[in-house]
A = this chain, B = another copy of it.
Amino acid sequence: MSDFTPTSRTKVRQKPQRGVYDRAVINSILDEAFVCQIGFVLDGQPYVIPTNYVRVGQRLFLHGSTASRMFRALAAGAPLCLSVTLIDGLVLAPSVTGHSINYRSVVVLGKAAVIEGVQKKLAAMRAFVEHVIPGRWESMQPPGEPELQGTMVLAVPLDEVSAKIRTGPPVDHEKEYVHELWTGVLPLKLMPQEPVADPRGKAGIPVPAYVRNYSR
């Protein structure tokens, strides 16, 4: 697949050197994160709501309740903006205004389509689980038809897309390097902590490898 073509709506204008339209880079961001922020408009008021997603080929899938105000609006064709942000670190520069945050963010503009049909919804559910916790689906019973019916699955095409990325050390002008001050980057990463067993769970079941060795 070719890279994205920036439009007047997705072209990165502020610090354009951070704009990225490369499909492989954008896919890698979308595949590392699993929570996006969905922007939509109701009565002229923007709303931004976090939700889980997964990329499947050239589409992002979302799932939610058929009763959700957001999902009903999106299913009815409301224009949306889907934003994904990974925070990679803090940039400590010589100057105050040179301080920054290393991040990788993606913005997707478009409209969602409703995914219908038990088999397609089941495939989407599998993709959600396997995206968030690879290995989990195989150990489970798939959901039945009643459970699938209460869940709405939406697909957002990856058509009008751009990324913005800041990476690396401070970029202050050389003349700022005058004071005795540590400068550099403090990387940050979303890391798994010690698993907490379900108090209602069955006793004696070991923590599975896909939990013990979790990483993104």
A residues lining the B interface (CB < 8 Å): 9, 13-14, 34-35, 37-41, 44-50, 52, 64-65, 67-69, 79-83, 85, 87, 89-90, 92, 95-97, 99, 101, 103, 105, 107, 109, 125, 129, 132-133, 136-137, 139-143, 147, 151, 169-170, 174, 177, 179-202, 205-208, 211, 214
Contact = CB atoms under 8 A, between A and B. Distances in A.
Contact of A41 (B41, B83, B174, B205): B41
Nearest to A82: B48
A211 B186 contact: yes
B180 A187 contact: no
B143 A96 contact: yes
Contacts of A46: 39-41, 46, 79-81
A201 B185 CA distance: 11
A89 B64 CA distance: 19
A140 B179 CA distance: 8
Nearest to A65: B14
Nearest to A132: B90
Given A182-B201, A202-B181, A35 B101 contact: yes
22 contacts: A14-B69, A35-B85, A37-B39, A39-B47, A46-B46, A48-B48, A89-B193, A92-B211, A95-B147, A99-B132, A99-B133, A101-B132, A177-B200, A177-B201, A181-B205, A182-B201, A182-B206, A183-B197, A183-B200, A184-B201, A186-B195, A189-B193
